[in-house]
Chains A and B, each alone.
Chain A
Amino acid sequence: MTDIEKIHLLMVDDEEKFLHALTERLKLKFFDITPVTNGEDAIAVAQKAQFDVAVVDLQMPGIDGVELLKILKKSHRFLEIIILSGHATIDTAVDCTKLGAFKVLEKPCSFDKLVETITEAYESRMKKKFEKDIDRMKKIQSLAFGQSPLGILRELKKMDDNQK
């Protein structure tokens, strides 16, 4: 697998040993992983680099998993977020799904199940992006008719702003 094909994964968990062991295992599966131990760092790295999927713990000091889910979904609309927590209940699973989580997994979770879920989340992201790109192409084509070059640029900027 080349670097381009690697799934870029953001892992957020305050249990450092868990984070370390899981990161080492996922690296062997050719994932490109950025591990962080809190919500504040997760927001900071997500602003600098592009991630395909984030795996987020629920209970963390400072910004908790639910708050982080809201923030990341707001600023990175195509990022798929998997909640992986020992504190997951049916209620939190429903709440997180409503807030846009791809799936809620309970710790301890089988490694194969986690890898499968990350892969599904990546596929979901690519599908959404592809559909958005098709939609964008159609809009660009329709803009080309009856608009001045400056008008087309303005409309493109508006579209890009809406996609952030």
Chain B
Amino acid sequence: MNQHTIDLVNKQGLQFFGSVNASISHELKNIFAIISETAGFLNDLTQLSKQGKKFELSLLENCSNSIAEEIERGFDTIRQMNQFAHSVDHPIKETSIPDTLTLAVKLTGFLSYTKKTQIDASAADITVLTSPFLLQNLIYRTLCAVYKSMDTKDTLNIFFHEKDPDTVSLTFSWGSPLALKEFPDQHTTDVADALGAVISISDNSLDLTVGRANDSLSAALTGKKR
């Protein structure tokens, strides 16, 4: 991997980091907006009560439940933000495929065009020695492209398995045949190349094949050879 590719991937990585953080901040704004309006409604009800006007007590209960739920949603969002932020701690590390997939699905869940998604829960954990941040980037971009093309009612299923001792396969499959729009684009191709990943697409599925280890990426990002 040459310096040009590393620079390109770093620049795109920064853009990716920015766009994910923007979507998280939008999610938090929505949460605060709900809490703000619900607290305001509670205040309105208090004023009505002071004026001697009657209302259903269940309204109070609904408001407090709603605030509690939104606070929990906010905590969840912050947890995902924290997990994502830590993906740049180590340029190369043993990275769990199911954990990376789960975080990517949660992060894309903040986008308006996200679709119902199921990750195969029966598969055993598989790790690859790679850049966790770049892998997250590749999976996130793949999910975005698939969601944008999928029918609203369709469900995305994600499976992963050890293809052979050296490679891991991630399969994204959907019901109705579709043509992915402008995918993989140059950005995605650059990230896939840096990771040594191969993307293959059919009408109903997309496969990402990732090496268990990537010597050239390790050397480029850490300056060390295995």
Q: Is the interface of A mostly helix, strand, loop or mixed?
A: loop
Please judge, given known A-B contacts A14-B112, A61-B113, whether A86 and B30 are in contact too, CB under 8 Å: yes
Which residues of chain B from 164 to 198 have a CB within 8 Å of any chain A CB?
none
Q: Is the CB of A25 within 8 A of B40?
A: yes
User: Distance (Å) between the CB of A57 and the closest chain B CB?
Assistant: 9
- Number of chain A residues whose Cβ lies closer than 8 Å to a Cβ of chain B: 21
B residues less than 8 Å from A108 (CB atoms): 29, 32-33, 36-37
Q: How far is the CB of A14 from chain B (nearest CB, A)?
A: 7
B70 and A86 within 8 A (CB): no
Cβ A24 vs Cβ B29 within 8 A: no
Bound state CA distance, A22 and B113, in angstroms?
A: 24
Q: Is B75 an interface residue (CB 8 A)?
A: no
CA distance A28 to B27 in the complex (A): 28
A contact residues around B69 at 8 Å (CB) = 17
User: CA–CA, A28 to B46, complex, Å?
Assistant: 13
Q: Which of A15, A21, A28, A111 has the most CB of B within 10 A?
A: A21
- Is B216 among interface residues, defined by CB-CB distance under 8 A? no
CB contact between B112 and one of A17, A18, A59, A107 (< 8 Å): that residue: A59
Contact B26 A87 (CB under 8 A): yes
Report A18-36 residues with CB < 8 Å from chain B CB: 18, 21-22, 24-25, 28
Most buried by A among B38, B48, B59, B66: B38
Rounded to whole angstroms, the CA-CA distance of A39 and B124 in the bound complex is 42
In the complex, A120 has a CB within 8 A of chain B? no
Chain B: minimal CB distance from A61 (Å): 5
Cβ–Cβ contact A86 & B29, under 8 A: yes
CA A121 – CA B202 in complex, angstroms? 50
- The 8 A CB mask of B21-45 against A (1 = contact, 0 = none) is 0000011011011101110110010
- Give the number of residue pairs across the A-B interface with Cβ within 8 Å: 59
Q: Tell me the count of chain B residues lying within 8 A, CB to CB, of chain A.
A: 23
A152 within 8 A of B: no
Closest to B70 in A: A17
Residues of B within 8 A of A15 (CB): 30, 33-34
Chain B interface, >50% SS class: helix
Decide yes or no whether A159 CB sits under 8 A from chain B: no
| Residues of chain A contacted by B113 (CB below 8 angstroms) | 61
**Which A residues are in CB contact (< 8 Å) with B111?**
59
- With the chains together, A18 CA to B63 CA distance in Å? 11
Give Cα A27 to B41, complex, Å.
11
Q: Does B96 contact A (CB under 8 A)?
A: no
When the two chains form their complex, are residues A111 and B40 in contact, meaning their CB atoms are under 8 A apart?
Answer: yes
Asked whether any CB of chain A lies closer than 8 Å to the CB of B102, the reply is: no
Q: With the chains together, A152 CA to B48 CA distance in Å?
A: 55
Nearest A residue to B63 via CB reads A21
Which residue from chain A places its CB closest to the CB of B27 in the assembled complex? A86
Contacts of B40 in A (CB 8 A): 21, 25, 111
Contact B38 A21 (CB under 8 A): yes
Most buried by A among B26, B32, B34, B59: B34
A86 CA to B27 CA in the complex, in Å? Answer: 8
Return the contact of B26 from the options A14, A17, A60, A86 (Cβ within 8 A).
Answer: A86
13 contacts across the A-B interface (CB closer than 8 A): A17-B70, A18-B34, A21-B38, A21-B40, A25-B40, A28-B48, A59-B111, A61-B152, A86-B26, A86-B30, A109-B33, A111-B36, A111-B40
What are the nearest 6 A-B pairs in CB distance? A86-B29, A21-B37, A108-B33, A107-B33, A59-B112, A108-B36
